[in-house]
Amino acid sequence: MSSLSSLTITALRAKLTAGEISPTDIIDDLENSNLEKDEAIGGYNSIDFEAARVMAANADLTLPLGGIPIAIKDNINVNGEPCTCASQFLVDSYIAPYDATVITKLKAAGAIPLGRANLDEFAMGSTTGNSSIKRTNNPKDLDRVPGGSSGGSAAVVAADTAIAALGSDTGGSIRQPASHCGVVGLKPSYGRVSRFGLVAFASSLDQIGPITKSVDDAALMLNALSGNDKMDSTSLEVDVPDFTVNIDQGVAGLKLGIPKEYFAAGIDPQVRKVVEASIEKLKNAGAEIVDISLPHTEYAVATYYIIAPAEASSNLSRFDGIRYGNRAENPENLIDLYRKSRSAGFGSEVKRRIILGTYCLSSGYDHKYYDKAQRVRTLIREDFNQAFEKVDAILSPVCPTAAPKHGENSDDPLKEYLADICTIAANLAGIPGISVPAGTVDSGNNTQLPVGLQILGAHLDEKTILRVAKAVEIL
């Protein structure tokens, strides 16, 4: 019999409501049989079984996620638990004094937060290699990265050491690790899900979303997470549909756009083959495949790497050694306290982004960089608006390559930034995107590495991308 931890939310809910298992059985299974696997994977920064057991004993099985444990990326506040952001600034010095709105909502839907999943420090990165706590390995090949920044969340779901997880996506951090680990990752539209209680990286780009073993599970979780929140002024006051309804409708009659810029040079030929095979299957299932152009794609990386660091430099100014986390000892004066605390607390990638962002915003340069980037951002958004007049959804690779080996790009940040080319435009435009497993490529040493198909939708049209993703999953 397969272990309970390998089952989807949907399958576990059927067993729970039929009375075949209890929520405590799932927690036991995660603790006894599967968690030792995490020694090899390194997906969790901490995990509190005791708190989960109390919630499991009181779980209301009539609720949509009743009794389901969910791993939480370690940059989302869960009351009473550490929230390290994988940064030495917060390790051993910060315990969350409140629940993020997504945690309140998950609990209200009956779910049980269980375990803090590793990430790149403050979610800055694409490999989880910028974590200051530990290395996370890709469950499909331990010599390779799980992707990032939600690498811990994707790895624990793929390794069956979690049922499902929450991640955050500022430039691809849910979709790209999902693609590298062979699971489903959904970035909702900007404003669909409250960001209150997510430690901010770049506030105009960040969104929280689910990483799951199936498309149905992603829809179930999105139902629980969505909705307006007075604590986040950017969360939208719009109706929340039931994302599970019509998910099985198939793709017959849908127009699916193929943006030529996302298939340009730089995409690994094996990755391209997997993505093209999936497109062919969707065509055979009745979708109309339409060639489109998103002409400003080539500026997306440059635009993102001005806006995201600019916002990060502002957001991270709250880490001053006084209000949060670790404080340097024996400072000579206030400025020295800031300098020493920040120098010791932040890792090199975070420092690089703060320096870059501060430079872009500094007087005399803000017009040259930040304002210009905002104008290009509008053009990128316009590209998508025009495309969605012609098509219902857009298909592309998630990442130009499958998961790289540990350390492969670590001495070349620019190379790592360029690999974000397929995911970051969706954040700049605020549209939803999902990565769904599409196939595998040969790593060259007898391992098959997963590759995801990315499906992008019009703003607030998560229903269509879930429907296309479901078709990919079952074809």
Where do contacts with ligand GLN occur on this chain (CB under 6 A)? 123-126, 149, 169-173, 201, 308, 420
Contact 189, 430 (CB under 8 A): yes
Q: From the CB of residue 385, how many other CB atoms can be counted at a distance below 10 Å?
A: 12
Q: Which of 87, 149, 194, 341 is catalytic?
A: 149
CB atoms within 10 A of CB 407: 12
* C-beta neighbour count of 134 within 10 angstroms: 14
Q: Please check whether residue 451 is in contact with residue 397, taking contact to mean a CB–CB distance below 8 angstroms.
A: yes
**How does DSSP assign 275-315, residue by residue?**
HHHHHHHHHHTTPEEEEE--GGGGGHHHHHHHHHHHHHHHH
Q: Shortest Cβ distance from residue 312 to ligand GLN (Å)?
A: 8
Nearer to ligand GLN, 148 or 325 (CB): 148
Judged by CB, which is closer to ligand GLN: 125, or 321? 125
Q: How many CB atoms lie within 10 A of CB 447?
A: 16
Pairing of strands 69-73, 165-169: parallel
Distance CA 46, CA 117 (A): 8
Cβ proximity to ligand GLN: between 171 and 259 the closer is: 171
Structure tokens at 320: 């001053």
C-alpha to C-alpha distance for 427 and 423, rounded to whole angstroms: 7
Counted residue by residue, the chain has a size of 475
Q: How far is the CB of 474 from ligand GLN (least distance, A)?
A: 28
Phi, psi of 284 (to 5 degrees): -65, -25
Minimum distance, C-beta of residue 123 to ligand GLN, in the bound complex (Å):
4
Give the whole-angstrom CA distance, residue 69 versus residue 155. 16
5, 73, 131, 396: the active-site residue: 73
73 part of the active site = yes
Cα–Cα distance measured from residue 26 to residue 22, given in angstroms and rounded to the nearest whole number: 7
User: Vertex 76, ends 418 and 221: CA angle to 5°?
Assistant: 90
Measured from the CB atom, is 256 or 403 closer to ligand GLN? 403
Alpha carbon 257 to chain centroid, angstroms: 24
Shortest distance in whole angstroms from residue 285 CB to ligand GLN? 31
Q: What are the φ and ψ backbone dihedral angles of 203, each rounded to 5 degrees?
A: -60, -25
Least distance between ligand GLN and beta carbon 389 (Å): 28
CB 63 to ligand GLN: min, Å: 30
C-alpha 166/C-alpha 74 separation (Å) is 9
Q: Is the peptide bond before 33 cis (omega within 30 degrees of 0)?
A: no
Instruction: Tell me whether residue 201 or residue 384 sits nearer to ligand GLN (CB atom).
Output: 201
- Shortest distance (Å) from residue 423 CB to ligand GLN: 7
Query: How far, in Å, CA of 202 to CA of 107, rounded?
Result: 26
Cβ at position 25, least distance to ligand GLN in Å: 34
> Which is closer to ligand GLN, CB of 169 or CB of 217?
169
Vertex 162, ends 158 and 163: CA angle to 5°? 90
Q: What are phi and psi of 112, to 5 degrees?
A: -120, 110
Q: Is 294 or 308 the residue whose CB approaches ligand GLN more closely?
A: 308
What is the DSSP-derived secondary structure letter of residue 263?
G
Tell the smallest beta-carbon distance from residue 149 to ligand GLN (Å). 4
Q: Are strands 207-212 and 165-169 parallel, antiparallel or unpaired?
A: antiparallel
Of 173, 313, 341, 435, which one is the catalytic site residue?
173
Nearer to ligand GLN, 141 or 169 (CB): 169
Between 138 and 170, name the residue whose CB sits nearer to ligand GLN.
170
Catalytic residues: 73, 149, 173
